[in-house]
Amino acid sequence: MQGAIPARRSTFKLANAFPDGWGTIPNNPLIAAAIASLFKGGANARNLMGCWSPDAEGRLTYRHLGKRGGQIVIYPDSAAVIARQHGSDIEKQWAFVEGFSPLTVDVLLAILAQVCEPSLGNKSKFPLLAPVPITASAILRYKGLRRWGSEGRQLRQRVDEEILRLQGLRFDVHQFPAWDPDLNRWNAKGVSVIGDRLFDIVDSQTYQSGGETRSRSEIVWLTRVGHWSQWWMNSQAKVWLGAIPQRILEFDHRQNRGSSLLAKKISLNTMVLWGAVRSRGSMERRVDRLLEDIGELPVLDARDSHWGGRVRDRFDEAVLQLQEDGVFGHVEWPKGHEPGGADRVKGWVESWLASKIVLTRPGVFGDNAIALHRKKKRRLAKKSKEPVELKRGSVIRSMRMDRNISQSRFAGELGISAAYLSQIENEKRAVSKGIHGRIAEWARANEHFDKPGADGATGSIYSLDAARDSRPAIGFRG
């Protein structure tokens, strides 16, 4: 079998699919539909706007409509559902869809990036017949996770399960406009295929690695992309590609990591759109439609009284985090709904959801983006030498109160909500690297700012030295 894994090897190494922190994935309507369908899964799958729904035949489907006509229908493979779930037929399908998670998306991204790994070259074997290997360890490495012992074993097992879960998705492409290799031209009437997959598992092999004392087993999966590659990848070159930062995979995938998880979803959704429309330097998005696209907009009946405030805080923090990480360049916030603003009066949720945010690229994807990434890494490495200890909520509160600044005003200067600042000051929430940097910059700028004392004299109200205690200095990365 072409590409079969050699039977006698004790180690297996893969070339890095994210050199310099950037990778490439196939970026086409089917991949966009797949990512959207995964975002619409999970525990809240039944209560989301634009969610999965049963068709006339009782099959649970997600439908992706093309702007120029055609549609892609996604549904669980009946064999995969029967093998994994229990209960009635429709409940089995719902249980399968509710099993999707952000980790499922990360696994898919890693597999797609490995397909486009640079050392494989730009030539594809029509329709990409050569299988590509991937391992759970490589996927966890791309995510920046290092675990050993039983915890590492459980994580690798979960990643392997996600690979098999992705095999349980089927795609029907109905008259979707695309480049048709049979006609050697663009087919406006559309191309079609029934029962396609994201990728097929051609072969797998279990390896023992780590030596005699710390031996562990590892499955190497040999994957080959589905039938869709004949339209959106061709025999001359790999086409319909988009660059993505490894940072997207590194964002925490756990459901209780609100802003980090939302940053993963927002960045990936925007990257897919930017990859499809390369001429756009910026993109205007309605907040509610963006949230709907990434599976974060429940139906009205599923929203409690505090839903708007929670989502708004996570949304603002996620976008700020993406801007700091260089995923977005300039951000034009919705007018009247800037982070830390005092707009939360009656009816503000509906107004915010209907408002628009403009996201701008940090530069043209490719070499320029990589250059920006390298420049950012050098800047962060330089800043890391500065010993700044402003991660304790009590220190931050004392600094603010000594300056006689209200919590809402200080939050506005930091670009975060007052509720978020309150959680930091009460040490109910850790200070992220980005917020840490902003607080440190503010402290430096106001270190020698004097105020009148009780006797009319002036004196320094705060200095970084006042925040230091007997603990060792902590390195700061802005």
N residues, the chain: 478
Same domain, 164 and 198: yes
Same domain, 53 and 135: yes
**Type of residue numbered 34:** A
Contact, 397 vs 425, CB < 8 A? Answer: yes
The pLDDT of residue 87: 60
The pLDDT of residue 370: 44
Tokens 């840490």: give the residue. 436
Same domain, 101 and 151: yes
| Backbone phi, psi, residue 255, to 5° | -65, -25
Gap between the terminal Cα atoms of the chain: 51
Tell me, yes or no, whether 13 lies in a domain. no
Tell me, yes or no, whether 338 lies in a domain. yes
Encode burial over 205-224: b for 16+ CB neighbours within 10 A, e otherwise. Answer: bebebeeeeeeeebbbbbbb
Same domain, 91 and 33: yes
- Alpha carbon distance 229, 245 (integer Å): 23
Same domain, 363 and 444: no
Same domain, 231 and 342: no
Q: DSSP letter string over 432-465?
A: PHHHHHHHHHHHHHTTT-EEE-TTS-EEE---GG
Contact, 126 vs 60, CB < 8 A? Answer: no
Tell me, yes or no, whether 5 lies in a domain. no
| Backbone phi, psi, residue 12, to 5° | -145, 120
Tell me, yes or no, whether 24 lies in a domain. yes
Q: Which of 250, 270, 289 is the last residue of a domain?
A: 250
Sign of CA dihedral 248, 249, 255, 256: negative
Three-state SS at 272 = helix
Rounded to the nearest angstrom, the gap between the alpha carbon of residue 100 and the centroid of all alpha carbons in its chain is 14
- Alpha carbon distance 5, 111 (integer Å): 17
Contact, 225 vs 198, CB < 8 A? Answer: yes
Pairing of strands 282-286, 241-245: unpaired
Structurally, the chain folds into a number of domains equal to 3
The pair of three-digit structure tokens given for residue 221, joined into one six-digit string: 């999966």
- By the 10 Å C-beta count (0-12 exposed, 13-18 middle, 19+ buried), 106 is classed as buried
Each residue's pLDDT tens digit in the chain (478 positions)? 344 444 444 456 788 999 988 888 888 889 999 999 999 999 999 999 989 999 888 889 999 988 888 999 999 988 777 655 566 788 889 999 999 998 999 999 999 999 888 887 665 554 456 788 999 999 999 998 877 777 888 888 999 999 999 999 999 999 998 877 777 788 888 889 999 999 999 888 887 665 555 556 788 999 988 988 888 876 555 567 888 888 888 887 665 566 888 998 998 888 877 765 555 678 889 999 999 999 999 999 999 888 998 999 999 989 988 888 888 888 889 888 888 777 888 889 999 999 999 988 776 444 344 454 455 555 555 554 443 466 778 888 888 877 778 887 888 888 788 888 888 888 777 788 778 888 888 887 776 344 444 344 433 333 333 333 333 332 222 3
Same domain, 216 and 113: yes
**Nearest residue to 229 (alpha-carbon basis) of 181, 272, 274:** 181
Look up the pTM and report it.
Answer: 0.72
Same domain, 463 and 332: no
Tell me, yes or no, whether 3 lies in a domain. no
Q: Which of 338, 367, 383 is the last residue of a domain?
A: 383
Tell me, yes or no, whether 114 lies in a domain. yes
Tell me, yes or no, whether 23 lies in a domain. yes
Tell me, yes or no, whether 40 lies in a domain. yes
Q: Which of 330, 350, 383 is the last residue of a domain?
A: 383
Domain with residue 408: its CATH number is 1.10.260.40
**Domain with 187 in it:** 19-250
Same domain, 410 and 369: no
Same domain, 192 and 60: yes
| Backbone phi, psi, residue 94, to 5° | -65, -40
Same domain, 98 and 198: yes
- Alpha carbon distance 121, 123 (integer Å): 6
Same domain, 269 and 368: yes
How confident is the model over 14-61, as pLDDT tens digits?
Answer: 889 999 888 888 888 899 999 999 999 999 999 999 899 998 888 899
